[in-house]
Amino acid sequence: MLEIVAIIAVILAIAIAVVLILAATKPNTLRVQRSASVKAPAEKIFPLINDFHQWVSWSPYEHRDPALKRTYSGAESGKGAVYAWDGNKNVGSGRMEILDTSVPSKIVIKLDFFKPFEGHNTAEFTMLPQGDATLLTWTMHGPAVFMSKVMQVFMNLDHMIGKDFEVGLANLKIMTYDGGPAEMPIPPDYKKKVMHSKITIDGEVLMASDAPPGHFHQPQGFSVSLQVEDPADAERRFKALAEGGTVNMPFGKTFFSRGFGMCVDQFGQPWMVNCPMEQ
């Protein structure tokens, strides 16, 4: 029995040593950058980033904890504005402070993480004119603490964080979109609405299309299924989808999931939200 325990201990020690050696070979700095072409002037995009109060409307991190605690201090917006957060394991805790701005082309933010592990980075947003559009770039860079190097042994941080940046940029793109083909025959009040929107995740494209006036038909015969790994997050999303709509099956634990519910949103779209059993 002691021999078996000794063998297991040796194997674990070797495995830990290999992980530490691999971690030590990782770069000393971390840099993640994503860009998107936004069909809107920089003057329209800039205020949504320069004011931390506006981040709740587009940041991919703002809705991962329904009970997220937010604290705003310093300047109302721009240089000197401070935003601190404290939440569950999905968001941890940290602090952001706008260090410098160049209206309407650049915002530099000091980004400090306290939980789940400490890290200190700089986030930058740049907005460069491109004809009738703006090239919006979101960059995060800073020293790679040893814990992040260990994480990089098992996962691609650029890929993981980059996906969040892509979602945030897509949200900003939708929020600031204005216009359409001149020859498109639509009422003036529809020119500020989004007819088509798409997001690319892991090379797969998800596209949503709205119906023009007079062409909407009530969806029937199918449901859009949303699978969420965290029960609290799944319930939050279910409640958001059901708000103003109809609940066909209240969200709750079932024999096949940690949480499941069915509803029809305020626009008539049927949804199923599922939080699967842990494997």
Q: Which CATH number do you get for residue 242? A: 3.10.180.10
Which of 76, 139, 75, 151 lies closest to 107, judged by CA?
139
Spatial contact of 243 and 266, defined as CB atoms under 8 Å apart: yes
42 pLDDT higher than 80:
yes
**Residue 151, by phi and psi: left (phi above 0), alpha (psi -120 to 50) or beta?**
alpha
Beta bridge partners of 257: 254, 276
| pLDDT at residue 23 tops 60 | no
User: Which pair of tokens denotes residue 165?
Assistant: 């940046």
Please indicate whether residue 117 or residue 162 has the higher confidence score (pLDDT). Answer: 162
Q: How far apart are CA 236 and CA 249, in angstroms?
A: 15
Angstrom distance (rounded) from CA 194 to CA 136:
19
Residue 182 resides in a domain: no
179 has a pLDDT exceeding 80: no
The whole-angstrom separation of Cα 132 and Cα 105 is: 15
Angle (CA) 245-88-165 rounded to 5° is: 75
For residue range 68-95, what is the model confidence (pLDDT) as tens digits? Answer: 999 999 999 999 999 999 998 888 999 9
Same-domain status, 123 and 246 = no
Residue 157 lies in a domain: yes
Examine residue 192 and state whether it is found in any structural domain, yes or no: no
For the stretch 134-150, what's the b/e string if a residue is b when 16 or more beta carbons lie within 10 angstroms of its beta carbon? bebbbbbebebbeebbb
- Please say if the pLDDT value at position 168 is more than 90: yes
Q: Please tell me the total count of domains within the chain.
A: 2
For residue 208, what are the contacts with CB-CB under 8 A and spacing of at least 6? 196, 197, 198
Same domain for 45 and 168? yes
Cis-peptide, bond into residue 231, ω within 30° of zero: no
C-alpha 123: how far from chain center? 15
What are phi and psi for residue 93, nearest 5 degrees? -140, 155
**What's the length of the chain?**
279
- pTM over the 0.75 mark: no
Domain membership flag for residue 70: yes
Residue 58: the pLDDT is 94
Cis status, amide bond into 104, omega within 30 of 0: yes
The reply to whether 233 falls in a domain is yes
Give the domain CATH number at 96. 3.30.530.20
Percent of the chain with pLDDT over 90: 51
Q: How high is the mean pLDDT of the chain?
A: 85
Q: Taking the CA atoms of 110, 161, 169 and 67 in sequence, report the sign of the dihedral they define.
A: negative
Tell me the residue range of the domain where 235 lies.
Answer: 221-279
Cα distance between the two ends of the chain:
30
